[in-house]
Chain A
Amino acid sequence: MFVRILATASLEFTVARRNRWVIVSVAMMMLFSLVLSAAGSAPAGQMAVDPLSVTVASLISLAVYLVPLIALLISFDAIAGENERGTLALSLTYPLARTELLLGKLVAQLGVVAIAVFAGYTVAAVVAFASGGVEAAQGLPALWRLVWTSVLLGAVFLSLGHAMSCLARRPSGAAAMAIGLWLVAIVLYDLGLLAAIVADDGGSFTTDIFPWALVLNPADAFRIFNLAASGAVDAASGLSGAASSIAVWKPLAAIVIWPLAAALLARLSFQKVVP
Chain B
Amino acid sequence: MPVLARWIEAAGIPTVVVTMMPAVAEERRAPRIVGVEFPYGHSFGMPHDKTMQRRVLDLALRVLAGAASSGTRVDFDVEWPVPLREAYKSWQPKVPSPIVRKLLEARSAERS
- Chains A and B belong together in one complex: no
Chain A: residues with CB nearer than 8 A to chain B?
A: none
Q: B residues within 8 Å of A by Cβ? A: none
